[in-house]
Amino acid sequence: MIGPFSSLGLLDRVFAFLFPGVLFLLLNGCASVSYYGQLASGQLQLLRAREPVEKVIADPSRDATLRAHLAQSQKARAFASEHLHLPDNQSYRLYADIGRPFVVWNVFATAEFSLTPQNHCFPIAGCVAYRGYYNQSAARGEAAIQRLQGMDVAIGGVEAYSTLGWFNDPILNSMMGWGDERLATLIFHELAHQRVYVQDDTEFNESFATFVEQEGTRQWRAFRGLPAESDARLKQRDQFIGLILDTRSRLEKLYAQPLAAEQMRERKAAEFERLRRDYRAMRDSQWAGDKRYDAWVSAPLNNARLLPFGLYDQWVPAFAALFRQAGGDWLRFYAEVERLGKLPVGERKAALKGLADPDS
């Protein structure tokens, strides 16, 4: 069903054939057939589009820039398994052009006065803090419905995702637009999900993968004899994320207060204005006017737009501390991450907090 590529693997082909039926068998009472249908058809389209990277590279009729990027990607792919001890399988040794800029569009939603995401539970991935759509119009339709219900909503295009080893995930054309290093970071991030994944804890999983991506990229640059990424750029990124997380913290305290709705709305709006004001002050006084985050800050802000920062960045300092405790040994680090992942959720979060802020 996938095509004549033996490298895709028999198991992968069997799963691809059974995937739509498996999804429908596992539907619960709250799930819509149409939603799961688009998940099945979207994944199947992706699987059918795959072809071995080596075949694309060897084909002189294919775009030269694409072939050059893919050739570099395979060096990063080998580094991921040989040095970062990430899974050594056919994932990211395949390529798929899906004909659109993002593979899925995720819809994030929260209540008006909450930073708790609206979770959605799936047969394979467990519960996650977003709902994905392979069609942008469908994502916008879902977002509109959520807004009518009074929810804060945000839509984010996604360049890549992991099927957690159920399939051999390909490099997608949507991953190719930011250069070779960005492509390498995406490969490291998505393979990290295959290495360790804890059901029903998006913050844990995404923060872990983000740390692997960042530390893996640092080591990948050193391996190639390149200088470390600019300290100024790293500092700007960390400062910007810090502003967002500080805003989240203030909003969480605000939402815990017994205020009337109109007063809560006013104070919520004031917090977002404070974020913009603090950002501009930092940009102009410390970043020499660098405007890389201006578009994000200038767009309408709500709770849902802050969610990815809490999900992808909240526990990165904790995983960095755990990596240092493991002496920079990836295998020891993964073993400790797996140990944390097996703890009850309350103990897990307490352990992460202790790692991130040992003096608290």
Domain range summary for the chain, segments of one domain joined by +: 8-223, 231-356
Q: Is 243 helix (H, G, I), strand (E, B) or coil?
A: helix
For residue 128, which amino acid is it?
V
Report pLDDT for 40: 85
DSSP strands (E only) in the chain: 51-52, 94-96, 104-110, 120-122, 126-128, 131-133, 152-158, 171-172
Report the C-alpha gap between 252 and 306 in whole angstroms: 12
Report pLDDT for 195: 97
- 315 with 204: CB under 8 angstroms? yes
Q: What is the DSSP letter of 175?
A: G
Residues 6+ apart with CB under 8 A from 293: 240, 279, 283
For the chain, which residues score pLDDT lower than 70?
A: 1-32, 123-125, 360
pTM for this predicted structure? 0.84
Report pLDDT for 28: 41
Report pLDDT for 175: 93
Residues 6+ apart with CB under 8 A from 250: 271, 274
Report pLDDT for 186: 94
- 117 with 110: CB under 8 angstroms? yes
Report the C-alpha gap between 266 and 179 in whole angstroms: 42
Give the number of residues written for the chain.
360
Report the C-alpha gap between 114 and 255 in whole angstroms: 6
Query: pLDDT tens digits for 197-245?
Result: 998 898 999 999 999 999 999 999 999 999 887 777 888 999 999 999 9
By DSSP bridging, strand 171-172 and strand 152-158 are: unpaired
Long-range CB pairs of 111-116 (<8 Å, 24+ gap) are: 111/150, 111/151, 111/152, 111/303, 112/150, 112/151, 112/152, 112/265, 112/303, 113/254, 113/255, 113/261, 113/264, 113/268, 114/255, 114/303, 115/248, 115/251, 115/252, 115/255, 115/303, 115/306, 115/307, 115/310
